[in-house]
Amino acid sequence: MFYNSRFFYVMFLSYFRLIEKIKLYAIKMKKLIILTLVFLIFSCNGNAQKNNQKESKVYSVTKTESEWKAKLSPLAFNVLRNGGTEHAFTSDLNKNYGNGTYVCAGCNTPLFKSENKYDSGSGWPSFDKEIKGNVVFSSGSNYIYGIEEHCAICGGHLGHVFNDGPKNTTGLRHCINGAALKFIPENE
Ligand SMILES: [Zn+2]
């Protein structure tokens, strides 16, 4: 009899403990779900903020797509803003050897000097050196297509740099779309 009552007592206790445990478990699960949701919401916002910071941090001249379209020729827009490439031997600047400065067609930042221009035979304006600090290079490009070059101020795509340039100077060939450039003669 003693054992029986003790047995029921233990059963009774374990039953209530079980109910309590289930209740606690339910509360914990609720908390976990809420925490997961909060974490997801914050991490999404965090990424969005990071992306925004990245975009606004790098370039000091920024415009909307329609503003760029209004400012640039269709070809310049395609090159600078969409990373396009003009057809070889089509740019007037390919065979231009006057003294002056080549500036960004998007934001007028001086990018290349005429003294660094040479005829690479590629059909695109070619330079062995950029104006330091005004051109940025993206590291994600591969060796076959060269390393991509951008205007450091507006982020416009200019062309690519290859390591088959003049050996007697830098050994680099900055292969630049003429549509991404404007030539400012020295005496102007
Ligand atoms: Zn620019």
Catalytic residue at 44? no
Q: Which residues pair with 102 in a beta bridge?
A: 112, 183
User: pLDDT by residue (tens digit) across 153-164?
Assistant: 999 999 999 999
Counting the structural domains of the chain, the total is: 2
pTM: 0.68
69 with 95, same domain: the answer is: yes
Q: Which of 104, 151, 154, 175 is catalytic?
A: 175
Tell me how far the alpha carbon of residue 21 lies from the centroid of ligand 1, in angstroms.
65
Q: Which domain holds residue 129?
A: 59-185
What is the SS3 assignment for 128? coil
Cα 132 to middle of ligand 1, angstroms: 14
Mean pLDDT of 35-45: 53
**How many angstroms is it from 110 CA to the middle of ligand 1?**
9
Residue 51 domain-assigned (yes or no):
no
Question: How buried is 84 (Cβ within 10 angstroms: 0-12 exposed, 13-18 middle, 19+ buried)?
Answer: middle
Tens of pLDDT along 98-145? Answer: 999 999 999 999 999 999 999 999 999 999 999 999 999 986 555 566
Output phi, psi for 36, to 5 deg: -60, -45
Give residue 26 CA to ligand 1 midpoint distance, Å: 58
